[in-house]
Amino acid sequence: MNVLTDNLSTYWEGFLGTVELTVYSSLLALVLGFVMVSFRVAPVASLRVFGTVWVTVLRNTPLTLLFFAVLLGLPRFGLVLPFKVFAVLALGCYTSSFICEALRSGINTVPTGQGEAARSLGMTFAQTLSAVVLPQAFRSVIPPIGSTLIALAKNSAIAGAFSVTELLGTYKTMSELGYNIVWTFAWIALGYLVVTLAISALFHELERTWGVAR
Amino acid sequence: MTGATALYDVPGPRTRRRHRRYGVLATAVLLGLLAWVLYLLFSTGQFTYTKWMPFAYKGIQELLLRGLGNTLRAFGLAAAFSLVLGGALATGRLSDHRPVRWAATVVVEFFRAMPVLVMIFFIFVALKVQPLPALVAGLTLYNGSVLAEVFRSGVNAVERGQREAAFALGMRKTQVMAHVLVPQAVRAMLPAIISQLVVALKDTSLGYLITYEEFLHAGKLIASNLDYDLPFIPVVMVISPIYIGMCMLLSWFAGWVSRREQRSPKTEAVAVAAAEPGTLLPGGEPPTAPRP
């Protein structure tokens, strides 16, 4: 029991590390996912191909392999950054492919007639997109994006095994100090539950406010 | 673009010309990027003879094949055990006895909410288990819980009339399950089950982190060999296509089964939705969508 009280600062540091990783990777994933989905629905064939390849390859890559390639591979090209940045890069790119697909299925739920009606009213492409298509698509993608980001938070544990400061990595310090290993893991598990439940609650709230009435 | 979407009209001649111009520009940029990557690879000397030579050695090939075999063994064991565990937990969640239902629900929700790596590390470090059993046990607990949700939602998605008709014929609950609901549900759930197995296959690479001698581990051994001038990038270029290819093959199979099932009249009574992996949110993805 005193594992937590004795090492509050270590746990807190690890917890913050996990939260930080999750937040930054989520932002990267959302931005990249948005870019990729705009490629995938673009009228330009080469961009569509690029988007499709990006999504197909990253969705089928084991995340450990991606971490391995990014954290240990990119330095060979003279790109030396802190491990945390590499971890955000790997997690963000991996998750962006799932975000992209969630967004794309969201856009596909908007009936063609909506766009046609907007254009027949004389709206430009930008107006159609911002006032008609995206608001409707946004509502239906809240749940899938929420579950993708929860998966991201859980996947961030892999970064700990590549010596980035985060929650799972704290077990090493604890076991070196000779604390009870079962309790150590119980508190780690609780930390992850807090993160995932917080994301879940956030998206429930978003869904309640913005979601499609069913 | 095939057909109309909500986003664009079918383009006219002038728009088509404009799109062609964009296309040329985008292709040029993408080719430039590709050329830059190739330049980087060449300029840092990734295609030298010493770095690629090891792949011609029999010992190295055997090392890689052994790693691949270990990966597939872990996947096979984890897949088989998680199907069994998933079946057991789903039976528990569909039980008529409240304590059983609650216990199964707690187990399923807990293991879906935990990062699979935390479980693997817990089993490996705290329970001091060998790498392979630890990896298989961790994967089984996680994927079994997700599959339990898939099974449960599949059985619940069978049209209500089927269950009612079976009960009206005087069948017992076990008979209704075994002869009416499960056979229909399994066909409809097959794509969702296979795409969960893709997750299990991808996650076998977590074994690398607990020193299980799988594919990635074999790659790491070769990559850290000074005699071959640390061929890290060549190793990544060899093992990632194999990993990605295996997962893509399985994903494609899930899609193929799903398309086949959609045409089959035998699955008409079931509209199955995917159980979300480790989330407490309502779902919105098709059952074959790969999961993070």
Interface predicted TM-score (ipTM): 0.87
Which segment of B174-178, B183-187, B272-276 scores lowest on mean pLDDT?
Answer: B272-276
**The predicted structure's pLDDT at residue B270:** 63
**The predicted structure's pLDDT at residue B267:** 61
- Report CA-CA distances (Å) from A101 to A44, A119, A144, B1, B162: 18, 26, 10, 17, 34
Shortest CA distance from B251: residue in chain A: A60
* Distance in Å, alpha carbon of A107 to nearest chain B alpha carbon: 8
Q: How confident is the model at residue A39 (pLDDT cuts 50, 70, 90)?
A: very high
Q: Which residues pair with B270 in a beta bridge?
A: B158
Q: pLDDT digit string (tens) for B69-95?
A: 999 999 999 999 999 999 999 999 999
Q: What is the pTM of this model?
A: 0.87
**Contact B32/A at CB under 8 A:** no
Shortest CA distance from A79: residue in chain B: B40
Cβ of A61 and B243 within 8 Å? yes
Q: Which two tokens stand for residue A10?
A: 């270590």
B77: Cα separation from own chain's centroid: 15
Given A64, A115, A151, which is nearest B209 (Cβ)? A64
Given B7, B115, B240, which is nearest A192 (Cβ)? B115
Cβ of A102 and B280 within 8 Å? no
Provide the domain limits for residue A169: 2-210
Q: 254-283 in B: which are within 8 Å (CB) of A?
A: 276-283
Identify all chain A residues contacting B220, using CB atoms and an 8 Å cutoff.
68
A-B C-beta contacts closer than 8 Å? 195
Query: Is A200:A146 a contact under the CB 8 Å cutoff?
Result: yes
Number of domains composing chain A: 1
- In single-letter form, the type of residue at position A4 comes to L
- DSSP-based three-state secondary structure for B28: helix
Cβ of A47 and B289 within 8 Å? no
CATH code: domain of residue A27: 1.10.3720.10
Q: What is the arithmetic mean of pLDDT over B112-135?
A: 91
Best mutation target among B10, B205, B252 (most A Cβ atoms within 10 Å) is: B205
Buried b (16+ CB within 10 A) or exposed e, A5-28: eebeebbebbbebbbbbbebbbeb
